């Protein structure tokens, strides 16, 4: 038994189970399974090779002189209130 035939058999079984195991639908299940296996093989052939992950470089920093450093530090923002807002009366 070829790999394709085994895959078709697996698909047909899954279709048969998903439909509640009806009797007399073997040919239809087999045809549906064959189409699924063909589509799966085509997708594998046409799928592009996975892209190489891009390496992210560290940001370049310049050494700062003493007077410039405090200017870059920002005051932390106050946390937002989590209380629900009430509508304003009109």
Tokens of 1: 């038994």
∠ CA 19-22-24, rounded to 5°: 130
9 burial (CB, 10 Å; 0-12 / 13-18 / 19+) is: middle
Q: Which residue has the higher pLDDT, 43 or 13?
A: 13
Task: Look at residue 68 and tell me whether its pLDDT is greater than 60.
Answer: no
Average per-residue pLDDT for the chain:
78
Asked if residues 25 and 16 have their Cβ atoms less than 8 Å apart, the reply is yes
Domain boundaries, the chain: 3-45
pLDDT tens profile 48-63: 767 777 877 777 766 6
pTM: 0.48
Task: Look at residue 33 and tell me whether its pLDDT is greater than 90.
Answer: yes
Q: What is the pLDDT of residue 43?
A: 76
């Amino acid at each position: 038994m070829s790999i394709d035939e085994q895959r078709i058999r697996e698909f047909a079984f899954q279709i048969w189970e998903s439909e509640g195991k009806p009797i007399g639908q073997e040919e239809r299940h087999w045809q549906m399974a064959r189409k699924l296996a063909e589509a799966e093989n085509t997708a594998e052939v046409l799928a592009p090779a996975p892209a190489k992950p891009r390496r992210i470089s560290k940001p370049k920093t310049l050494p700062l002189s003493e007077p410039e450093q405090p200017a870059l530090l920002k005051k932390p923002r106050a946390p937002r209130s989590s209380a629900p807002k009430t509508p304003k009366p009109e």
